[in-house]
Structures are given as structure tokens and as C-alpha cells.
């Protein structure tokens, strides 16, 4: 029932926002997000780290087609549900109250988005998964297009069409699999795991799914929507996209692709891996040459998530466990990063590196916090990024040494562009002497300090999360290997 609560709570609060006056919307949304976080934490306490879905709910939705409203949480879902629950209060708080026009619609859309995200991570029925997957598109589209910056309309339309295009192929694959299930047919993901499909069928289905998830992640060359969208989106939109939404793609790979089409993965996994690695190197190099802070984070995020996806295609427990924990950590880091950039932009009215400099002298607290977040995102030991990237690279290394060498270049390049950014923006001379901004203030500290604590805590005790997903990840690998003993054997 906790799973149901995680969906009902955002729905309930969306309605409350819609019927109350706009002045209260932000507070109501915050209460909803905190309530959801409390429920997530309560669920986590009840959770026994097993392989099967827990805290579940199962209702018939469209009986004639065997579509079930089936939701539950296993180890893999748990981490992403935790991520969503944890980040949401930060994302809602990220924009100052005065800056949101039409607060009612904005916060209602934010909570609808949470409903969709939670649904994706908990769905046990492929059809339901698809519906939630699409449902997330609508609110985030409006959030980015209406509250976004210049050129937000064409950019977000491109984003919308790209992601919709990807997922429609997934729909075809899901319907195809549905008709392959025996008897009365079922959309249950579990029943898809037991299908025996020919190698050709698996290849087609692999690509249909891969396309949907690759656009979302985004994997090279399906990424072209991403940097523009991150740049024009309002800070909350960028946080939603980078922090949580693109994890839907990785989650889909682990939940659907690996166990359902193992032969397809065996045949095409290396191709996908190579694409991921090209994306990693490419995005890191481009990030190096950017002058807009948001674009640097956008490309660095593409590199980091490319590494996560590469870890999934390493097809071993190191890679998958690395992907799981890194999804959480990347979410935390990227949200913190966007928050910091937003604060800088609000103080100096610019995101251009060329116009910034010497912030460390003016805003000491901000620069320390920025350093912590940056080290986390580079993956320095004792910060949260370390263990994830370490496991990912280990996973890729045991799959193929050369590939791990290329993938590992992201660590070096990441350090290069991040330190360059820090040098140019925080050190040196102050560029604009007219502005002497105040350091981080009340609400900003309340947001940034918990994020820093999580960054360091997860660096010291990664086992807290690793234990949650371990057995579920092993379960996925067992399904993958049993059906296809040749690979990885």
C-alpha cells in the first residue's frame, strides 16, 4: 500500500493546489513533497532488500486486455524512488517564490511530474510503465516551455518530439511482446521475462527499447535535444530532467532490456556500449570548450550518464551495481550543481565564464560548497561519486579492458573542465566590481548543506545504498544469464 500512497499523495496535493489560491501553491507542494519523502523513508524502513516487489498494489485496469495496475518496489526501484522522494523538496524549493509566475499551474505540474516519475519506477506492468513514461513528458514539457528562458518553445518542442518518437517504438515492442505471452496474454513485466523469442525478434525488440531509452538518457547520437533543453529550462526543469527524468532511461535498460531480450543484448550490447563511450568522450571534450555554466553541467551530465549506461552494458554485477548507486549520486550532484549555478546567476545576472571571476573572495560559503559538489561530481574518494564511478569502471574493465580505458578518460577530462571552471569563476580577479553580492542566505543554506552532507555521507558509507539494490541486481543478472548462458558465463 505504500507504493499506492506514493502515487496518491502527489495526486491529492495536485488537486489541493488547483482548488486553493495561488499564494499557497508553493507551500502546499512542499508539504506534499515532504510527505512523500516521509513515506519513502518509511517504506525504506520496511523494505527487506529482497528481490521481489514489495509494498505492492495490484488491481485490474483494463480487464479485456489483461492490463493491470500493478505497482511494487524491489531493490532497483527502491533506489530510484528514494532519489525522487529525496530530491523533490529541493527541486520545489529551488526557485524563489517571487520568481514563479502562475504558481498554481507550475506547482501542480511539478507534482503531476512526481506522480509520473514514481509510477515509472514502480510499475510492474509494461503497459502501465509506458503510460507513466509518457505522462512525465507532458508536465516537464510545459514547465520547460512556459517557465523557460529565451527560445524555450522551439527547443522544448524538439525535446518533446524526440522523446515521444523514441517511446512510440517501445510501445510497438510492448504490444508485440504482449501477443507473444501465452494464454490470455498479459502485459506483466514478469511474464515478459519468461518469453522465448527468436534471435531476430530479440534484435528488433532490443532496438525498439534501446531507442526509447537512449533518447532519454541521452546516449550519442540521440542526445542533440539535451544541451539546449537544459540551458533554456528553468532551474527546476533542468533539475527534473537531469536529476531524475533521464534515470528513467537507465532504469528501463535494467528493468526491461536486459532480462527480456538477453540475446538481443548479447548481439548488440557492444554496439550500444561503444555508442555510450563515444558519447562520454565527446561530451567531455565539448564540456571543456563551453563558456556557459549550464551548458558545462549539461554536457558533463551527458558524460556521467553515458558512463552509467555503459556500466549497464558491461553486463556484470559491478557495472550494474555501479549504475544503481551512481544514478542516485549523480542525481544529488547534478541538482546541487544546478542550484549553485542558479544562485551565481541570480547574483551576477550571467552564466558566462568570461564575465565571472573571483567569486571565492566574495562568497566564501558558496565557493566551499561548490568545491564539495564539484569533487563529488568528479568522483574524488570519500565523496559520493567515487564508489559509483569505481564500480562502473571495474564493471566495464571486466567486460573489456580497452573500453574501460576510453570510458575512464571521462574522469580525467571531468577533472580538467571542472577545475578550469573553478579557476575561472571562483579564483582570480573579480570581473564586475559593481556587484558585491551577499553570500548564500537562509533558504539556500537549508538546501545546500543537506545536499553536501549526503554527498559526503554516501562517500563514506556507500553500502547503505549498495545493499538495497544488490540482490535485485543479481536477480536481473540471473535471469539474463540463465536464458543465455554463453554470454558472461
Partner 1 sequence: MNTLITLSAAGIVAMIGSVMKSRSWVLPFSIAALIIAGWFAAIEWNQNMILFGAMRMDNFAIAFSVVCFITATFVLIFDHQLNYAKNEHYTEVHAIVLFSLTGVLVMVSFTSLLMLFLGVEILSLSLYVLAGLHKRDLLSNESALKYFLMGSFSTGFLLFGIAMLYGATGSFMVSDIAYYLGLHKAQPEPFVVAGIIMLMIGLLFKVAVAPFHFWTPDVYQGAPTMVTGYMATAGKVAAFAALLRLFQFGLSPAAASYQSLISAVALLTMFIGNISALYQKGIKRMLAYSSIAHAGYLLLALLTAHDITNGTVLFYSIAYSLASLTAFTVVAILQSHKAADDVSAFNGLLKQNPLLALTFAIAMFSLAGIPPAAGFFAKFYIFSAAIREGWTWIVVIAVVNSFISVYYYFRPMIAAFMMKGHETSYTLSIGTQVLLVVLAVLTILIGILPGMLTALI
Q: Which residues in this chain contact partner 1 in the complex, by CB under 8 A?
A: 61-65, 130-131, 134-135, 137-138, 142, 145-146, 152-153, 157, 160-161, 164-165, 168-169, 171-172, 175-176, 178-179
CB of residue 192 vs partner 1: minimum separation in angstroms? 15
Residue 113 has a CB neighbour count (10 Å cut-off) of 28
Cell numbers that stand for 123 in this block: 510499475
**Smallest distance from the beta carbon of 467 to partner 1, in angstroms?**
36
Kindly state the cell numbers that stand for 153: 518553445
Instruction: Name the residue nearer to partner 1 (CB basis): 116 or 319.
Output: 116
Name which of 121 and 160 has its Cβ closer to partner 1: 160
Nearer to partner 1, 24 or 176 (CB): 176
Residue (205 or 305) nearer to partner 1, CB: 205
- For residues 103 and 35, the answer to whether their CB atoms sit within 8 Å is no
Write down the least CB distance from residue 120 to partner 1, Å. 12
In whole angstroms, the minimum distance from the beta carbon of 122 to partner 1 comes to 17
User: What is the smallest separation between the CB atom of 16 and partner 1, expressed in angstroms?
Assistant: 19
CB-CB contact of 245 with 216 (8 Å): yes
Q: Nearer Cβ to partner 1, position 165 or 463?
A: 165
One-character DSSP codes across 268-323: HHHHHHHHHHHHHHHHHHHHHT--BHHHHHHHHHHHHHHHHHHHHHT-SHHHHHHH
Q: Say if CB 322 and CB 395 are below 8 A apart.
A: yes
Return the closest-CA partner of residue 232 out of 280, 191, 287, 292.
292
Element (H, E) at 383: none
Closer CB to partner 1, 141 or 268, in the complex: 141
Task: Give the residue from 450, 446, 466 showing the smallest Cα distance to 391.
Answer: 466
- Bridge partner residues of 58 (DSSP): 70
Question: CB-wise, 62 or 463, nearer to partner 1?
Answer: 62
Q: How far is CA 201 from the centre of its chain?
A: 29
Give the cell for residue 466. Answer: 549498495
Asked whether 398 and 316 are in contact (CB, 8 A), the reply is yes
Q: What angle do CA 35, 38, 39 make, to 5 degrees?
A: 90
The three cell numbers locating residue 329: 549520486
Considering only CA atoms, which of 74, 81, 33 is closest in space to residue 331?
Answer: 81
Closest CA to 240 of 91, 86, 32: 91
Pick the closer one to partner 1 by CB: 212 or 394.
212
For residue 82, the minimal CB distance to partner 1 (Å) is: 26
Q: How far is the CB of 85 from partner 1 (least distance, A)?
A: 23
- 3-state secondary structure string across 186-232: CCEHHHHHCCCCCHHHHHHHHHHHHHHHHHHCCCCCCCCCHHHHHHH
CB of 172 to partner 1, least distance (A): 6
C-alpha dihedral, 235 to 238 to 239 to 240, nearest 10°: 120
Residue closer to partner 1 (CB basis): 172 or 464: 172
Q: Please, which residue, 138 or 415, has the CB nearer to partner 1?
A: 138
In the complex, minimum distance from the CB of residue 161 to partner 1, in angstroms, rounded to a whole number:
6
Question: In angstroms, what is the minimal distance from the CB of 119 to partner 1?
Answer: 11
Eight-state DSSP code of residue 182? S
Amino acid at each position: 500500500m505504500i507504493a499506492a500512497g506514493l502515487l496518491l499523495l502527489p495526486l491529492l496535493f495536485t488537486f489541493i493546489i488547483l482548488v486553493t489560491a495561488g499564494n499557497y501553491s508553493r507551500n502546499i507542494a512542499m508539504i506534499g513533497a515532504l510527505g512523500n519523502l516521509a513515506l519513502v523513508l518509511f517504506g525504506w524502513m520496511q523494505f527487506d532488500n529482497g528481490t521481489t516487489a514489495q509494498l505492492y498494489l495490484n488491481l485490474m485496469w483494463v480487464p479485456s486486455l489483461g492490463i493491470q495496475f500493478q505497482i511494487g518496489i524491489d531493490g532497483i526501484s527502491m533506489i530510484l524512488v528514494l532519489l525522487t522522494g529525496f530530491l523533490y523538496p529541493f527541486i520545489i524549493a529551488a526557485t524563489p517564490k517571487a520568481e514563479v509566475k502562475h504558481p498554481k499551474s507550475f506547482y501542480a505540474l511539478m507534482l503531476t511530474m512526481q506522480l509520473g516519475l514514481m509510477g515509472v519506477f514502480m510499475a510492474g506492468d509494461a503497459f502501465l510503465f509506458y503510460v507513466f513514461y509518457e505522462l512525465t513528458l507532458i508536465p516537464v514539457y510545459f514547465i520547460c516551455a512556459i517557465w523557460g528562458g529565451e527560445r524555450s518553445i522551439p527547443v522544448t518542442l524538439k525535446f518533446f518530439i524526440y522523446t515521444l518518437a523514441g517511446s512510440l517504438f517501445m510501445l510497438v515492442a510492448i504490444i508485440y511482446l504482449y501477443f507473444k505471452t501465452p494464454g490470455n496474454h498479459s502485459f506483466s513485466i514478469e511474464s515478459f521475462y519468461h518469453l522465448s523469442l527468436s534471435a531476430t525478434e530479440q534484435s528488433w525488440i532490443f532496438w525498439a527499447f534501446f531507442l526509447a531509452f537512449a533518447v532519454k538518457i541521452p546516449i550519442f547520437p540521440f542526445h542533440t535535444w539535451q544541451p539546449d533543453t537544459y540551458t533554456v529550462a528553468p532551474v527546476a526543469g533542468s533539475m527534473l530532467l537531469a536529476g531524475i527524468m533521464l534515470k528513467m532511461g537507465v532504469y528501463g535498460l535494467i528493468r526491461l532490456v536486459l532480462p527480456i531480450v538477453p540475446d538481443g543484448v548479447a548481439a548488440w550490447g557492444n554496439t550500444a556500449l561503444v555508442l555510450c563511450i563515444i558519447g562520454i568522450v565527446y561530451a567531455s571534450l565539448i564540456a571543456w570548450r563551453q563558456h556557459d555554466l549550464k551548458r558545462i553541467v549539461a554536457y558533463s551530465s551527458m558524460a556521467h550518464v553515458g558512463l552509467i549506461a555503459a556500466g549497464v552494458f558491461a553486463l556484470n554485477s559491478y557495472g550494474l551495481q555501479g549504475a544503481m548507486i551512481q544514478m542516485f549520486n549523480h542525481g544529488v550532484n547534478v541538482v546541487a550543481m544546478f542550484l549553485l549555478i542558479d544562485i551565481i546567476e541570480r547574483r551576477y545576472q550571467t552564466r558566462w565564464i568570461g564575465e565571472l571571476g573571483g567569486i571565492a573572495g566574495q562568497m566564501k560559503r558558496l565557493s566551499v560548497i561548490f568545491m564539495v559538489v564539484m569533487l563529488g561530481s568528479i568522483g574524488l574518494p570519500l565523496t559520493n561519486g567515487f564508489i559509483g564511478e569505481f564500480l562502473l569502471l571495474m564493471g566495464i574493465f571486466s567486460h573489456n579492458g580497452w573500453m574501460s580505458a576510453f570510458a575512464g578518460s571521462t574522469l580525467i577530462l571531468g577533472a580538467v573542465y571542472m577545475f578550469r571552471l573553478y579557476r575561472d569563476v571562483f579564483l582570480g580577479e573579480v570581473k564586475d566590481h559593481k556587484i558585491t553580492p551577499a553570500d548564500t542566505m537562509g533558504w539556500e543554506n537549508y538546501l545546500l548543506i543537506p545536499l553536501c552532507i549526503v554527498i559526503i555521507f554516501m562517500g563514506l558509507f556507500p553500502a547503505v545504498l549498495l545493499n538495497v539494490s544488490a540482490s535485485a541486481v543479481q536477480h536481473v543478472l540471473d535471469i539474463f544469464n540463465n536464458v543465455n548462458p554463453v554470454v558472461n558465463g
